[in-house]
Structure formats: C-alpha cells, structure tokens
Structure 1
Amino acid sequence: MPLIALDDIRAAHTRIAGTALRTPLIALPGHPGIFIKDESAQPIGSFKLRGAFNAIALLAERDPAALKRGVITYSSGNHAQGVAYAARALGTKAVITMPDNAPTVKVEATRALGAEVVFTGPASSARKLKAEELAAEHGYTIIPPYDDPAIIAGQATCAVEILEQAGTEDLLILSPVSGGGLLSGTATGTKLLSPSTQVWGVEPALAADATESFRTRTLVEWPAASTTRTIADGLRTQSLGHLNFEHILAFVDGIVNVTEEEIFDAMRVYLSTTNLIPEPSGAVTLAAALYHAQELPKAAKTVVILSGGNLDPALRTQLESELAAH
C-alpha cells in the first residue's frame, strides 16, 4: 500500500473539524524552549479521536450500509474511546475488544460513550483476533488502531497544527510510539510540509520493539510478557503496524527510550508545574526532552506531544501525595 499524501492529510483535517479540537500549544513553565501539544484537551482525553473519526467518517462517505452495520476495534483504551465517540457521533454501533488488564477508567469511559466492551487476554494479538472473529460473524467494519491509511492521515493532523502554532524554524517534535499511528502520522505530516523539521519517537525501554525495528530496519515483535511491564499502558503494543513502519522508515529521524522512573518524574513535573493531567503514555515525550537531550538534536523549540490525559485516579492520588510530601 502506498504512503499517504499531503492531500489525504488535508482532507482528514477538513473531515474531523468540528469534532476533534485544534488543541493548544503550551509553554512548559520553568523550561524555556519546551512546548506541550496538549492532546489531553480532546473530548475523549487523547489524540486518538483524530484518526478514529477520520476513518469512520470516511466509511460513512464510501459505504453507508457498512456504517449502519456497526464498527469494531481492538484497543487498550484511548482508541476504544475514539471509536466509541466517533461511532456515537455518526449514529452507529461500536464494539471494542479490550485486554482484561485495561485501566478501569478507560473501560468505564468507553462504556459511557455507548460502546459494547468484550474482554480478551493481555496480548495485543489476542484482542485483534477476537475483533476479526466478531467482525466476520456480525458484518462489522474493523477500525484498526494504527495500521490503516485513514488512521495515519487523521493522526497527521496533529502535526499540521503544531507547524502552524510553533513555526517550522529550528523545531524538534517528539511523539510517543506504540503501534506507530501517532508517530507515523506526525512524521509524515511534518516532513511533507517542513522537510527540515526533526521528528523523533519516544518509547519506554521496557517496550522498545519500535526502537529495535527502526534500528534494524526489520519489523520485529516483542512478547506480551515483555511489553506489559511498562506503566505506560497505551504503549504496550507488541509490534509496529506494517504501514506505520513504512512511514516511520521514510520520515522519522530517530527513536529514544525512557525508563520507568523518568516517566514517573515527567508526570510529577506536569502535575507540579501545570494544570495538565498526563497519563504515563503521554508523559514519555517530556521524559525524553528532560532526561535525554544529549541523544536528541539541538533545537530552539522542542514540542512534546502529550498524547493523552486519561490517568488512573489511584495513580494520580499516589503521585500527588508524593509531591505534597516534598
């Protein structure tokens, strides 16, 4: 399948306008040159609405009968909410297969949007297989979480906004990477509009399959027992998507890894210096900017994408208690 084009991204931006927000770019207090692209401001608390709405709205344009039968996806949380929100907005049924260890806050949020949740084991491959089985049985259309051109084009709209908000001169953009939807979209949108702008991915060291794939230029898969070790539940996917990998090889400049303690520290920085609520997966980019600057290219402006703010309430309470104790 060919790489997406700038026309695909512009069409997605038009399609999602009025549903997905143009999120703010915020300077990080006390850290000159670091800016936060706050995707936690989206109606579902994460960037995933961009791709999900673009894909389902495109289905509505191309095959209204398929839309009427319903949509299904497989997700640990934020894409689930994106599909549920988009399906409700477009008047169709959504079914989500989720791992049985998904954060309760994300399960409840998905159900609150009207979706049916079907649980599977923790492996990302297990929920994908279950979704394919149910799609075949009921005629649902699968809305993949990342490995799909409409999803990539939708996520790329985030990059369009960043370039409009931050300018293109002396800029570095950091995106989380799991299945690769946001990173592939961000890098593609950025490079098609501003080839000189650097785009790097950030991944937990405990779930560094994308890093290995990027380094070896061969798509690798890590076992679920490895990737589920990270606190960043949204970044536990075992492998990049095939189409995402092709875009990443074509447009991404590098990928860095962060430790679990660095992720926690970045979350503490958010909670102590801003009024933003970061989930662990969204905090990895700030962790890279704060603790791995020596591995990254120098830039006057570094934009870290805060990909989501659906933080487990118990973890938030723990972090805020730690901050109060200091």
Structure 2
Amino acid sequence: MPQSYIKRILDARIYDLAVETPLDATPLISSRTGNKVLLKREDLQPVFSFKIRGAYNKLLQLSDKQRAGGVIAASAGNHAQGLALAAQHLGVSATIVMPRTTPAIKIEAVKRRGAKVVQVGDTYDEASTFAKNLVKEKGMTYVPPYDDADVIAGQGTVAMEILRQHTGKIDAIFIPVGGGGLCAGMAAYIKFVRPEIKVFAVEPVDAACLKAALEADRRVTLPQVGIFADGVAVAQIGKETYRVIKETVDGVITASVDEICAAIKDIFEDTRSIAEPAGALSLAGLKKYVADTGAKNQTLIAIDSGANTDFDRLRYISERTEIGEKREAIFAVTIPEQPGSYKKFCSLLGKRSITEFNYRYADNRDAHIFVGMQISPAKNDRQEIMKTLTEKGYKAVDMTDNEMAKLHIRHMVGGHAPQAQNEIVYRFEFPERPGALLNFLNKLADQWNISMFHYRNHGSAYGRVLVGMQIPKGDRKRLEALLKDLGYNYWEETQNDAYQYFLS
C-alpha cells in the first residue's frame, strides 16, 4: 500500500546534500488565473533538479559492499547529474551510460561531478540495456531513475516540505510525470497526511504513458514518444510507480508543446528563472485545470522540477510561446492573385496585428498565404477570424494546432513544384549525432529522388526533418519497410493541409 512509503519518506536523511527548496508566490500567474498559485522551486537544487533527492537517498541505503562495487545508471539528463553528485559526495565510483545523442553540455556536467561517462546507442533503452549488462559483468549496483522504492521515497520529500511550508488550505497540487517517481512519492505522502488535497499528474500530450495505462487499466508501452520535454519522455510508466499512482492521484492532465512553452515564459516573468520543458509541465497542467474548471480563489501548487535546458532551445521555446499563450493564431488563406488583394485582406482584419506573412507566387489565379495574427486569449478570436474570412468568401484553414505547419512550413513557404511527380512527404525526428543524416541517405537516397528537404534543430537530442521523396506507387511497401528498418520516429504528412496549400 502507498502508506508504506510514509516512514521511508520521513526517514530520508538527504539534507547534507539536497536542500529544502522554497515555495514561491507567483504574483503575475496568480493575478492572471484568479487563484493563489505557488511554485515549488526544485530548480534550485545543487543539480538544478529534484533528481538529487532520489539518487542520494538510494545511495544512502546501500551496504558498504555495494558502495565499494560502484554504482551505474542509464540517463541522458537530470538523474545522471543527481547520481554523479551523490556518488561524489559519498566517495562512491559512478558510471553513467548515456545515449550518443546526449548534448555535450550534459555530458560535461556529469564528468565534472566525477562520474565516468560511457556513450552507447541513440536512445535511453539502448543505454539502459548496456548498463544492466555491465551490472552482471562487473558487479556494480544499478540505480534506477524512478522505479525503485528508495528513489521514490527520496522524491517524496518534496511533498513533506510543501505541507510543512504551507499549513493553510491547499486545493490542488500538480506534479509532472515521466516514469512516475516524483508523482508516486509525493502523492503517497500527500494523500496520507492531507487526503483532502487533490493531486493531479501532468504529462505531455505526446508522452502520456500514465494516461494510457490508466485508460487500459494496465501498463502499456507507447509506440512513439515526443521528445520536447525530454525529462519526462518515457514510453512506459514504472511498475512500482504505477501501483502507487493509480491509488493516489485524482486525475491526469496533458499539456501540449505550446502550452509548456507558455508556462516556461510564465515562470520566467514571475521568477526570472528559466525552467526546462519538464520543469514547467506541471504549471501548464495547472493553467489548463483552471481554464477547464473555472477554478477561482483556490490555492494551487505546481512543481518547477528542473532547469537543465540548453541555451539553444530558447529560440524554439520563444517561437512557440505566443501560440501557447493563445496570443497568436496562424492560418492558410487563399486570396486572388491580383494587385490590391493583400491590402483588401489586411483591411478586413481591421487593427489586428499581423505577426507573420509568407507567400510565393504559384499561378495567375490564386495566392496561398501563410499568415500569423495576434489574438486575445480572453476572446474567441480564432473562431471569429475564421467566421469573418468565410463570410467574405475567403477559403481559410486554421493551422494554429498543425505541428508540421509550426515546425517547418512557416520557415519554408517557397512555392509549388508541379514537376515533382509522385511526391510523398514525411516528418522525421533524427537523432542529433554524426552520421544520422548519412545513414538516412544511404538507405533511401540512392533509390528515390529527394524532392524537398527541411531540417531544424533546437538544441535537443533530435533534429526535426521534413522530407519529400518521389516514390512510384509500386515502391510504397518497400519504402515503408526501409523506414521501419531505419528506426527513426516518422509521420507521413502528404495529406497535411499545410503541405497541400503551400508545397504540393
């Protein structure tokens, strides 16, 4: 039962290394949502993440023999840094197995804390398999990132601090979920001590493994996982964490990339700190809860779980924030290809600000424009714009929620290619390592012509790629087989409105 964790959490002696983090007021977020919103600042831990709690608590429970044999973990992020620092503090040898896609800044951070880094594979699963094989070969102790009772108990100390720091009314606490260690530990403690407090788990829309498990009433493995919020990019919830969470949480909320980016900006405006995507996830869930339920005058707490983000990612985060805040909408609109059309179109919009306008000549009759507009989050602006355009005879498509349009099309509107016969379009996530593109080209390019290519990287472990290839109908099955063998995440986008309007 989850109650078994209470003594473990109370007995966790982690504070000679981890710190008790503040529970900060957020005047701007609170004013905007009409609630008292508090932020638990786990980004202020020595490794800028709550992960130090669980990793250190696990090491404290090991025997002298286990410590002497050294510890090992597979991680590309915060668990790696937490374990490295914990091991350094206790004088224990630590080996961290990291995917080859891990950004250099994270590798150096682990090395600075005295751990040995071994790079294997492109994914966490490959690194994890290698690490577990080393356990058998060398007798080291494996320290899991979340699915372990001592790790869960260490993370549960976050809840213990919150309830000590704020003894008054708390209506709900929002906790980010990847593998579930933080949520399991916190929820077990909260529901034992203050069962009237609602606990909500928050996941990315494209990595909602807990939501999928609860719906299926069993742990399931997601076929694909979005990697923007890499700290919670987990395909399957932990076995022990799921056992605890399903008995203790009041619900699961999912947040989109845009909503997470908006929450990062919210945290910055109130604290002048920059949360990593997983760090801002619970605030995105909190805001969605307020919007969906109309909650007012409540005390709501979100966990700022970490701040380990690469500087290069900030341009992408900034770009997506306006949409996440519902302050920008993007549309594909067809206007007549004749002088004065653009002026007439802008006049129709009145004083509404145009944030972006992309266009290239295609034919003498119609012009397809890609247009961004400022909207008010308090109004039903997107629907009003669509209604206005339709009533005036314009053909328009709302692309505000179209991932391909936001990732690629807005940067490459360049006209149609009627000569590109039999073109099929795919969106890929390439592992960001030397040879990834060459591997793709070796498998595909010699067999079919590449008719379109757009690549973007945002400082993450994966680059976003849009590819058009000319594939005769008889070759479709062979192409699909090669794409599966390639092993990269991909989505066919040939029927996507953004492609059909601007590039097909």
TM-score by length of structure 2 reads 0.60
The match for 2:312 among 311, 314, 319 is 314
Please, what is the CA RMSD of the aligned residues?
2.2
Counterpart in the other structure of 1:274: 271
| Equivalent AA in structure 2 for residue 301 of structure 1 | T
DSSP 3-state at the match of 1:35:
strand
Query: Residue 301 of structure 2 aligns with which residue?
Result: 303
Q: Which residue type is aligned with residue 260 of structure 1?
A: V
Q: SS at 1:95's partner residue?
A: strand
1:265 counterpart = 2:262? yes
Q: Separation in 1 of the partners of 2:4 and 2:235?
A: 24
Which residue of structure 2 lines up, in the alignment, with residue 238 of structure 1? 235
Render the CA deviation track for 1:106-126: whole Å, top value 9, x for unaligned.
Answer: 222111111112223343322
Could you tell me which runs of 5 or more consecutive residues in structure 1 were left unpaired when the two chains were aligned: none
Distance 2:17 2:78 in 1: 16
> Hey, what does 2:82 align to over in structure 1?
82
Deviation at 1:312, TM superposition (A): 0.7
Give me the whole-angstrom Cα distance separating, in 2, the residues matched to 1:164 and 1:296. 28
Shift of 1:103: 3.4
* Correspondence for 1:57 among 40, 56, 60: 60
Question: 2:19 pairs with 8, 18, 21, which one?
Answer: 21
Aligned equivalents of 1:234 and 1:170: distance in 2?
A: 27
Give the corresponding residue for 1:47.
50
State the aligned residue count: 317
More strand by share: 2
1:317 and 1:140 map into 2 onto residues whose CA distance is 41
Deviation of the 1:86 alpha carbon: 0.5
Structure 2 residue aligned with 1:287: 284
Secondary structure at the aligned position of 2:59 is classed as helix
Q: CA deviation at 1:314?
A: 1.1
Contact 1:168 1:197 in 2 (8 A): no
Hey, what's the Cα distance between the residues in 2 that align with 1:300 and 1:261?
25
1:3–1:192 CA distance, 2 compared to 1 (3 A): closer
State the AA in 2 paired with 1:39: E
Q: Superposed, which structure 2 residues align to 1:1-326 within 5 Å? A: 4-12=4-12, 15-32=13-30, 33-59=36-62, 63-167=63-167, 169-223=169-223, 226-227=224-225, 229-295=226-292, 298=295, 300-316=298-314, 319=317
Is 1:53–1:83's contact at 8 Å kept on the other side of the alignment? yes
Q: Structure 1: which amino acid aligns with 2:56?
A: F
Higher helix share: 1
Amino acid across the alignment from 1:306: D
Residue by residue, what CA displacement relative to the aligned partner does 1:145-186 show, whole Å, maximum 9, x if unpaired? 011000010000000011111225232111110000011111
Identity of aligned residues (%): 36
Aligned CA distance change for structure 1 residues 53 and 286 (closer, same or farther; 3 Å): same
Q: Which whole-Å CA distance do the structure 1 matches of 2:131 and 2:294 have between them?
A: 40
Q: Is the 8 A contact 1:72 1:95 kept in 2?
A: yes
Q: CA deviation at 1:37?
A: 0.3
What code does the residue aligned with 1:230 have?
A: I
* SS state at 1:30 partner: helix
Q: Distance in 1 between matches of 2:147 and 2:221?
A: 15
Matched residues in 2 for 1:297 and 1:320: separation? 27
Contact 1:70 1:141 in 2 (8 A): yes
Residue 130 of structure 1 deviates from its aligned partner by 1.0
Q: Distance in 2 between matches of 1:123 and 1:145?
A: 15
CA gap of 1:321–1:87, structure 2 versus 1, over 3 A, is same
CA distance 1:296–1:253, change in 2 (3 Å): farther
**Change in 2 beyond 3 A, CA 1:199/1:164:** same
| Contact 2:8/2:153 (<8 A) preserved | yes
Q: Pick which of 23-32 and 77-86 moved more.
A: 23-32
Could you tell me whether the CA contact under 8 Å between 1:172 and 1:197 is conserved in 2?
yes
C-alpha spacing 1:321/1:201, structure 2 compared with 1 (3 Å) = closer
CA distance in 2: counterparts of 1:244 and 1:5, whole angstroms: 12
Distance 1:158 1:72 in 2: 25
User: Does the 8 Å contact 2:2/2:244 carry over to 1?
Assistant: no
Decide whether aligned partners of structure 1 residues 89 and 297 sit closer, same or farther in structure 2, where only a CA change above 3 A counts: farther
CA distance in 2, matches of 1:86, 1:276: 25
Q: Secondary structure of the residue that 1:5 maps to in structure 2?
A: helix
- Counterpart CA distance in 2 for 1:125 and 1:3 is 31
Offset at residue 133 of structure 1 (A) = 0.5
Distance, in Å, in 1 between the alignment partners of 2:149 and 2:28 is: 38
CA deviations 1:2-28 (Å, max 9, x no partner) are 86331111011xx10221100001111
Rounded to whole Å, the distance in 2 between the matches of 1:72 and 1:86 is 12
The residue type equivalent to 1:291 in the other structure is K
Which has the larger Rg? 2
Q: Which amino acid aligns with 1:25?
A: L
